[in-house]
Amino acid sequence: MFRKLFSFKGGIKPDTYKAVSTREPIGIAPLPSTLIVPLHQHAGGRAIPRVRAGDRVLKGQCIGEADGWISSAVHAPASGKVLAVENRMAAHPSGLPTLSVVIEPDGLDEWACLHPLRYQALSPEKTRECLRDAGIVGLGGAAFPTHAKLSAAKQTAMEAIVINGAECEPFMTCDDMLMRERAEGIVSGAAFFRELLDPKKVLIGIEDNKPEAIAAMSEAAKRFGSDFEVIAIPARYPAGGAKQLIRALTGKEIPASRRSPEMGVQCFNVGTAYSAWRFITFGEPLVSRIVTLTGNVENARNWETRIGTPFREFVALGHPGHDTNGFLMGGPMMGFEIPGMDAPVVKSSNCVIAAATSLFPPPPAEMPCIRCGSCAEACPHELQPFELYRFARVKNFDRAREFALDECIECGCCAYVCPSRIPLVQYFRFAKSGVQARLREKEKAESARSRVERRKAREARAKAEKAERLAAGAQASGMDASKKTAVQAAIERARQDRETIQAGNANDAETGDRYDEGQPR
């Protein structure tokens, strides 16, 4: 069928290194000795722990409950004993601790009682709630809660949902293998999303360097007729970025300031569709995912891995080479170096790459920008990275924002092509962090100021009320004259005392004594 393909500007074509990890089918990773399940694996609020140390949990049992709407539940990936609910190293570039449930599996792998979701009988709201409680989040890398993406905008009719099978990051093949082997589930999951969003079309975008996946998906999509289209798009990084894929398939450009449903599209990863299908069909919550293990390893392969598997045990499956000098989570373009091997596989871990100098030679020292403009040509968002860099470098975040810092998707194309080898992405992330921090500070200052004002008002009111009460009390009680004059005299004395003290304080304030005294440093 002929279809007009749009395109996006910029982009790069790095070597893909994908073939090595597609030779073997998806393997089932063995049960690890411990499972460390962080309660915050998704965008939004951290899940609230629902188990305690010593509890026995079943596989698929909820161990963390969603906190708010933009949040997601967390489930036990195996049956066993909860050893602790404590801070453990997060699978996060910082390596800082995050509250996690540590489970010692008992080897029985006993499932909790599961019920398929008969969503046809449920209201859409209820269905979305169930998805939230099943811990279904986007598996493309951002881990945004899926249920929150499943409501259409009120004003705009949904035109299309885009199923993202592009997988443009080099090395990564988890989506490719999933599509080859489990296309049926993905397409059924997409059909489920279609029920909720009611779009005209379901567009499945796959990069044209995955012919097997395209064939499998086309076969599976036949069943749904012409509403489902599998579209091969030219392989070019970052074609798998949600905004780039939407642009390539529908021609719509979604700015950072708008949500895609407002423009009639929504985008889901193939893995997300598959896990949603597993949930509605078998009632299984999200407890495992496909993770590519590749790079400097003997046995590059995709593994169906339980969430919470420590990286130490996971990477051992691939027998990393002796010259491995680190592991990356995510692809080489947008991933990060795993801070420590005790950090666990989480819902957003799509790929683990054993790094070695031969694969990723360390960059030479940063040179000054020569304004060659390569970065601007490569930027898929048509930004001017060299300008952003200029302002980010001198920490002038306001000016950087004028050059649309917020639109940057941190895809790394600019840094990939930069002849001066400037770590542009790091500069942009730094600048974005700075903007965030300043916003937080501003909010905090604002709330502090309003509390100060309220406090002052409250104190003034209390004073006024007290004075009023005193006056009223003195009049109401029928005191005899002598008592009255005595009280009056006492009040007068007190007032004088207060005045002298106040005068003294005022003098102190003028000379600054009071603040000197009050300062601990």
Partner 1 sequence: MLTVIFPMTLGAAALGAMLGWASVRFRVDGSPLIDEIENALPQTQCGQCGFPGCRAYAEAIENGARIDLCPPGGEAGARRLADLLGRDPPAPGMEEPSPQAAVIDEQRCIGCTLCIQACPVDAIVGAAKQLHTVVGTLCTGCELCVPPCPMECIQMKAVTENIDNWAWKYPVFGIRRVN
Partner 2 sequence: MTRKPAIDTTKGSRVEMTEKFHRNEEQNKPDRPELPGSSATGFISPPYLSRNASVRRVMVQVLAALLPGIVVYAALIGPAIVLQLSIASVTALLAEAAMLKLRGRALFPFLTDGSALVTAWLIALTFPPIAPWWLTVIGVLMAIVITKHLYGGLGQNPFNPAMAGFAACLVSFPALMSQWPSVTAPAHFIDQAAAIFGGARSLDALTSATPLDALKTALRLAGPGATVSAALADTNIYGYVAGRAWEWVAAAYLLGGLWLAGRKIIRWHAPAGFLSGLALISAACWLSDPERFASPLFHVFSGGALLGAFFIVTDPVSGCISGKGKFIFGFSAGILAYIIRVFGGYPDGVAFAVLILNLCAPLIDALTRPPIFGMKKK
Taking the C-alpha atoms of residue 22 and residue 301, their distance in angstroms, rounded to an integer, is 7
Q: Which residues in 344-363 contact partner 2 (CB under 8 A)?
A: 355, 357, 360, 362-363
User: Could you say whether residue 340 binds partner 1 (CB under 8 A)?
Assistant: no
3-state helix, strand, coil in the chain (%, to 5): 40, 20, 40
Whether a cis peptide bond, with omega within 30° of 0, leads into 38 is no
User: Could you say whether residue 245 binds partner 2 (CB under 8 A)?
Assistant: no
User: Could you say whether residue 316 binds partner 2 (CB under 8 A)?
Assistant: no
When the beta carbons of 106 and 407 are compared against partner 2, the nearer one is 407
Q: Which stretch binds partner 1 (CB under 8 A): 18-26, 223-231, 363-371, 473-481?
A: 363-371
Q: Which stretch binds partner 2 (CB under 8 A): 135-143, 222-230, 279-287, 325-333?
A: 325-333
End-to-end CA distance of the chain: 77
Identified binder of partner 2 from the candidate list 70, 423, 434, 514, rule CB under 8 A: 423
Stretch 381-420: interaction string toward partner 2, x if CB under 8 A: xxxx-x-----------------x--x----x--xxxxxx
Minimal distance in Å, beta carbon 424 to partner 1?
9
When the beta carbons of 74 and 333 are compared against partner 2, the nearer one is 333
**Closest to 20 (Cα-Cα) out of 270, 334, 298:** 298
SS3 516: helix
Amino acid at 312: R
User: Could you say whether residue 116 binds partner 2 (CB under 8 A)?
Assistant: no
Say how many residues make up the chain. 521
Interaxial angle between packed helices 174-197 and 211-221, expressed in degrees from 0 to 180 and rounded to the nearest 10: 30
The entry of partner 1, partner 2, none near residue 335 (CB within 5 to 8 angstroms by kind) is partner 2
Identified binder of partner 2 from the candidate list 429, 435, 484, 487, rule CB under 8 A: 429
Q: Which residues in 376-415 contact partner 1 (CB under 8 A)?
A: 395
Are the CB atoms for 87 and 100 separated by under 8 Å? yes
User: Could you say whether residue 447 binds partner 1 (CB under 8 A)?
Assistant: yes
Phi/psi of residue 105, nearest 5 degrees: -65, 145
Q: Which residues in 5-34 contact partner 2 (CB under 8 A)?
A: 8-9, 12, 14-15
At CA 149, angle to CA 143 and CA 151, rounded to 5? 165
Taking the C-alpha atoms of residue 247 and residue 254, their distance in angstroms, rounded to an integer, is 8
Three-state SS for 260-271 is HHHHCEEEEEHH
Taking the C-alpha atoms of residue 170 and residue 209, their distance in angstroms, rounded to an integer, is 11
User: Could you say whether residue 518 binds partner 1 (CB under 8 A)?
Assistant: yes
How many Cβ atoms from other residues are within 10 Å of residue 505's Cβ?
12
Counting residues that bind partner 2 (by CB under 8 A) gives 70
The entry of partner 2, partner 1, none near residue 469 (CB within 5 to 8 angstroms by kind) is none
SS3 63: strand
User: Could you say whether residue 449 binds partner 1 (CB under 8 A)?
Assistant: yes
Q: Which stretch binds partner 2 (CB under 8 A): 137-145, 315-323, 338-346, 509-517?
A: 338-346
**Closest to 29 (Cα-Cα) out of 250, 385, 299:** 299
**Closest to 373 (Cα-Cα) out of 382, 391, 383, 386:** 386
The entry of partner 1, partner 2, none near residue 448 (CB within 5 to 8 angstroms by kind) is partner 1
Taking the C-alpha atoms of residue 448 and residue 454, their distance in angstroms, rounded to an integer, is 10
Q: Which stretch binds partner 2 (CB under 8 A): 69-77, 380-388, 451-459, 492-500?
A: 380-388
Name the token pair of 475.
Answer: 């009049």
Are the CB atoms for 160 and 230 separated by under 8 Å? no
Identified binder of partner 1 from the candidate list 25, 68, 97, 504, rule CB under 8 A: 97
Please list the alpha-helical segments (H only) found in 240-326. 242-250, 270-282, 311-316
CB within 8 Å of 246: residues ≥ 6 apart: 162, 252, 254, 260, 265, 267
The entry of partner 2, partner 1, none near residue 404 (CB within 5 to 8 angstroms by kind) is partner 2
Element spanning 219, H or E: helix 211-221
When the beta carbons of 15 and 510 are compared against partner 1, the nearer one is 510
Stretch 158-177: interaction string toward partner 2, x if CB under 8 A: ------------x-------
Q: Which residues in 11-40 contact partner 1 (CB under 8 A)?
A: 40
User: Could you say whether residue 445 binds partner 1 (CB under 8 A)?
Assistant: yes
Counting residues that bind partner 1 (by CB under 8 A) gives 41
When the beta carbons of 170 and 205 are compared against partner 2, the nearer one is 170
The entry of partner 1, partner 2, none near residue 332 (CB within 5 to 8 angstroms by kind) is partner 2
When the beta carbons of 189 and 330 are compared against partner 2, the nearer one is 330
Stretch 126-165: interaction string toward partner 2, x if CB under 8 A: ----------------------------------------
Minimal distance in Å, beta carbon 406 to partner 2?
10
Strands 336-337 and 326-329: antiparallel
Taking the C-alpha atoms of residue 70 and residue 131, their distance in angstroms, rounded to an integer, is 12
Interaxial angle between packed helices 270-282 and 174-197, expressed in degrees from 0 to 180 and rounded to the nearest 10: 60
Could you give the C-alpha distances from 300 to 178, 327, 351, in angstroms and in order? 15, 14, 11
How many Cβ atoms from other residues are within 10 Å of residue 269's Cβ?
27
Residues that bind partner 1 (CB under 8 A): 40, 90, 92-94, 96-98, 365-367, 395, 423, 426-427, 429-430, 432-434, 436-437, 440-441, 444-449, 451-452, 454-455, 509, 512, 515, 518-521
Residues that bind partner 2 (CB under 8 A): 8-9, 12, 14-15, 86-89, 95, 97, 170, 243, 247, 253-256, 258, 325-326, 328, 330, 332-342, 355, 357, 360, 362-365, 367-374, 376, 380-384, 386, 404, 407, 412, 415-421, 423, 425-426, 429
